[in-house]
């Protein structure tokens, strides 16, 4: 059955690949309107998911993410309309080459094809991912978690009916209703139908995908983000940035998890940071030199340096040099976002060039690694791999390209 779904998605891709911007926007507007019109049904289905969750002892934090109400559905519809307003990424001439033999070669952006998205509890991903894929000319196969299956099924059906009303094949959007582990594994290996797989979720999901997928994957999400406070840092900026990056939303991947401080500035800046973080009861764990400066810091283990806490907790290490900070980041970073706080722009450049992460900052919170904050309008996730897309995955990153070669009978 999954094979048939894949085949249908691939078939629909032939249509969507060359669809006009107008047709795609018309379908997106239908989707937005349909989400509003069917809010009652969606909320009713979501209620079943929530009740099942309660029966099965779902943690409150997951139930919070799962829950849909009128306001959240209006947010989903608005998210779809935001994508209507974005520039169509398909068919851009990225480069034009004229060859001495008279050939004209155009490098032109094209959809990737069929994108499979495997995600966890948030049902709003269903409409977000579908709208981003549709606008970028890609058909989408959605595979959400079993906790949200009733919500996702209704949302997907509402969207399929909507694109159909707009004159598109409904298979440009499809949902895998089988939420077993087997169906996920099968989806990861359907090379004949799936061009790219994007997992959206925790470290466990990402690892399962990397291990089992034979289709090309864009890895997303895990962020063990570092902030390095250089000896020439402005202390006030350091305090504000650390506080914001750690506490403004600790559960997201661009939140800071680890703090490196140059030993020359540590006696001055660490107490100020500690004081500020106390406002949110942040737990600090650190190495011996940091604990010598602040006895409230707990002792860090080796595991702490590699940990993405996603909580009000942070590791602290005192370093003797820029090179030591870079070496530590090289060893423990997940390649998401890292920041240096310094007034010395030469030091900043050294740091930003040497650190091999998707986003490298000087004097700004790591929380800005986000499609909206970068001005992309929307994103389907944050890529932490180096192939194809890195950082926020917006509409242009959902494109491949082809070469169109115009000849007049040239042979080689």
| Minimum CB–partner distance for residue 7 and a second copy (Å) | 12
Stretches 34-42, 79-87, 177-185, 373-381: which one binds a second copy (CB under 8 A)? 373-381
Among 182, 211, 279, 303, binds a second copy (CB under 8 A): 211
Site map 18..37 versus a second copy, x via CB under 8 A: x-------------------
The only residue of 12, 361, 371, 378 in contact with a second copy, by rule CB under 8 A: 361
> Minimum distance between the CB of residue 387 and a second copy, rounded to whole angstroms?
4
- 3-state SS, 51-116, equals HHHHHCCCCHHHHHHHCCCHHHHHHHHHHHHHHHCCCCCCCCEEEEEECCCCCEEEEEEEECCEEE
User: Please, what is the minimum distance in Å from the beta carbon of residue 50 to a second copy?
Assistant: 30
Q: What does DSSP say about strands 114-119 and 382-383: parallel, antiparallel, or unpaired?
A: unpaired
**Which two tokens mark 299?**
């002792």
Question: What is each CA distance from 362 to 207, 315, 383, in whole angstroms?
Answer: 31, 20, 20
Given candidates 33, 164, 183, 240, which one binds a second copy under the rule CB under 8 A?
240
Both tokens of 42, joined, read: 């969606």
How far from 244 is each of 71, 131, 154, 227, 392, CA to CA, in Å?
A: 27, 31, 38, 11, 20
Q: Which is nearer to a second copy, 30 or 338 (CB)?
A: 338
Of the pair 86, 293, the CB lying nearest a second copy is at 86
For the record, the structure tokens of 370 come out as 């986000």
Does the protein bind a second copy through residue 216 (CB under 8 A)?
A: yes
| Contact call for residue 210 and a second copy (CB under 8 A) | yes
Q: What is the DSSP string of 229-249?
A: E-TT--HHHHHHHHHHHHHS-
218 counts as binding a second copy under rule CB under 8 A: yes
Q: Is 275 in the site for a second copy (CB under 8 A)?
A: no
Q: How far apart are the two ends of the chain, measured CA to CA in Å?
A: 47
Binding site residues, a second copy, CB under 8 A: 14, 17-18, 97, 99, 103, 105, 110, 112-113, 191, 195-196, 210-211, 214, 216-218, 234, 236-237, 240-241, 243-245, 248, 330, 352-354, 356-365, 367-369, 373-375, 385-388, 390-391, 400-412
């Amino acid at each position: 059955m999954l094979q048939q779904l894949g085949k249908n998605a691939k078939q629909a891709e032939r249509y969507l690949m060359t669809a006009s911007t107008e047709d795609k926007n018309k379908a997106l507007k239908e989707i937005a309107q349909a989400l509003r019109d069917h809010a009652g049904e969606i909320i009713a289905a979501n209620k079943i998911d929530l009740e099942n969750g309660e029966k099965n002892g779902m943690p409150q934090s997951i139930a919070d993410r799962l829950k849909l109400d009128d306001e959240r559905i209006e947010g989903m519809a608005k998210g779809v309309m935001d994508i209507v307003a974005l520039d169509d990424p398909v068919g851009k001439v990225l480069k034009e080459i004229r060859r001495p033999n008279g050939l004209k070669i155009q490098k032109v952006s094209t959809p990737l094809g069929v994108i499979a998205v495997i995600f966890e509890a948030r049902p709003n991903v269903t409409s977000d991912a579908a709208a981003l894929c549709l606008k970028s000319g890609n058909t989408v196969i959605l595979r959400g978690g079993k906790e949200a299956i009733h919500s996702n099924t209704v949302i997907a059906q509402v969207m399929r009916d909507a694109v159909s009303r707009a004159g598109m094949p409904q298979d440009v959007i499809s949902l895998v209703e089988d939420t077993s582990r087997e169906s996920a594994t099968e989806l990861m290996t359907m090379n004949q139908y799936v061009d790219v797989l994007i997992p959206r979720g925790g470290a466990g999901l990402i690892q399962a995908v990397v291990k089992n997928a034979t289709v090309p994957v864009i890895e997303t999400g895990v962020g063990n983000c570092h902030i390095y406070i250089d000896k020439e840092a402005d202390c006030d900026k350091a305090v504000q940035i650390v506080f914001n990056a750690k506490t403004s939303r600790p559960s997201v991947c661009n939140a800071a998890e680890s703090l490196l401080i140059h030993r020359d500035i540590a006696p001055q800046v660490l107490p100020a940071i500690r004081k500020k973080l106390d406002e949110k009861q942040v737990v600090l764990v650190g190495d011996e030199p940091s604990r010598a400066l602040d006895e409230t810091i707990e002792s860090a283990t080796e595991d702490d340096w590699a940990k993405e806490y996603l909580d009000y907790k942070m590791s602290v290490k005192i370093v003797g040099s820029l090179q030591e900070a870079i070496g530590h980041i090289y060893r423990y970073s997940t390649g998401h976002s890292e920041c240096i706080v310094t007034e010395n722009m030469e030091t900043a450049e050294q740091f930003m060039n040497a650190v091999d992460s998707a986003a490298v900052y000087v004097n700004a919170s790591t929380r800005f690694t986000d499609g909206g904050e970068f001005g992309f309008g929307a994103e389907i996730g944050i890529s932490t791999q180096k192939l194809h897309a890195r950082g926020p995955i917006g509409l242009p990153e959902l494109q491949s390209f082809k070469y169109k070669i115009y000849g007049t009978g040239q042979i080689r």
